[in-house]
């Protein structure tokens, strides 16, 4: 196929193969996300890319990007709350005062920034528990593609009969020890990519006002998990 023959339809067909119906349904799911632009490139770009991955069925990539989004958003949010927007951080260039030490948050890991968001009332205790659980499994597991972390605690059972007439014996195995563990990870990502993305998106929607005017709530509706 030469360049002149490449059309949007053919490109989509090559990417999605027989998944057009699923992609169409997922596009409808993500439309409320991609239709809202918060004017914060560090946040808007990974939001959009995570949605793109979800639509085309690249759910492992979607989970990984959602983790990156959550990690960056926590840092940016805490900096906004403590130091104000960028235009308010340039006084040191004019009066010779020391610049704000943004490393107080930029150097922290996700567990620390999530805890800081909770302590400042930016996260409810319930949402913090959910996101901290996601952090433990998704952020660390998918970042390193580590089956033991991703599938931690998940097991499967095999029933065996040693001899005719003998009782059936059940043995339980860790899922991350299966020969085709990549398939198990794919199924896990398919099941969890959307709930994870929605949870992070709703956290953003409930706090994005701090990037514009914390006294004005834009009233972004929260998304459902459907």
Is the four-CA dihedral 52, 214, 78, 196 of positive or negative sign? negative
Q: How far apart are CA 149 and CA 140, in angstroms?
A: 7
Provide the b/e sequence for 104-127 (b: ≥16 CB within 10 Å): ebeebebeebbebbbeeebbeeeb
Residue-wise pLDDT tens digits, 88-131: 666 665 666 677 788 889 999 999 999 999 999 999 999 999 99
Q: Taking 80 as the threshold, does the pLDDT of residue 31 lie above it?
A: yes
Whether the per-residue pLDDT at 17 is higher than 70: the answer is: no
Find, among 208, 187, 214, the residue nearest to 69 by Cα. 208
The CA distance from 91 to 71, in Å, is: 28
**Which one has a higher pLDDT value, 36 or 168?**
36
pLDDT at 218 (0 to 100): 73
50 has a pLDDT exceeding 70: yes
Helix (H, G, I), strand (E, B) or coil at 155: strand
CB atoms within 10 A of CB 49: 16
In whole angstroms, what is the distance from residue 139 CA to residue 154 CA?
18
Q: How confident is the model at residue 1 (pLDDT cuts 50, 70, 90)?
A: very low
**What pLDDT, in 10s, does the model give residues 136-181?**
777 777 776 777 777 775 554 444 455 556 555 555 545 555 656 6
pLDDT (0 to 100) of residue 159: 42
pLDDT given for residue 30 in this prediction: 94
Mean pLDDT across the chain, nearest whole number? 80
| Residue 35's pLDDT band (cuts 50, 70, 90) | very high
Strand partners, 170: 159
212-221, long-range: CB < 8 A, 24+ apart: 212/39, 214/81, 220/36, 221/32
The C-alpha atoms of residue 116 and residue 107 are separated, in whole angstroms, by 13
Dist. CA 205–CA 191, nearest whole Å: 23
Q: What is the pLDDT of residue 79?
A: 93
- pLDDT tops 80 at residue 201: yes
Q: What is the pLDDT, as a whole number, of residue 194?
A: 95
Greater model confidence, 48 or 21: 48
Across residues 187-212, what is the average pLDDT?
Answer: 91
pLDDT score for 224: 87
Distance CA 24, CA 104 (A): 43
């Amino acid at each position: 196929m030469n360049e002149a023959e490449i059309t949007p339809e053919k490109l989509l067909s090559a990417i999605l193969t027989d998944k057009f119906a699923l992609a169409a349904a997922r596009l409808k799911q993500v439309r409320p996300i991609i239709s809202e632009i918060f004017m914060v490139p560090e946040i808007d770009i990974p939001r959009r890319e995570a949605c793109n991955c979800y639509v085309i069925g690249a759910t492992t990539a979607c989970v990984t990007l959602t983790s990156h989004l959550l990690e960056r958003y926590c840092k940016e949010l805490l900096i906004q709350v403590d130091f104000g927007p960028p235009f308010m951080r340039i006084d040191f260039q004019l009066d010779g005062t020391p610049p704000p030490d943004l490393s107080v948050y930029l150097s922290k890991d996700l567990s620390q920034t999530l805890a800081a968001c909770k302590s400042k009332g930016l996260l409810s205790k319930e949402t913090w528990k959910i996101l901290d659980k996601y952090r433990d499994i998704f952020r660390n597991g998918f970042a390193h593609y580590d089956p033991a972390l991703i599938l931690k605690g998940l097991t499967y059972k095999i029933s065996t009969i040693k001899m005719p007439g003998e009782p059936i014996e059940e043995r339980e195995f860790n899922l991350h020890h299966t020969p085709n563990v990549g398939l198990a990870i794919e199924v896990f990502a398919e099941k969890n990519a959307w709930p994870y993305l929605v949870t992070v998106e709703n956290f953003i929607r409930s706090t994005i006002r701090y990037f514009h005017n914390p006294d004005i709530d834009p009233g972004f509706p929260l998304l459902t998990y459907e």
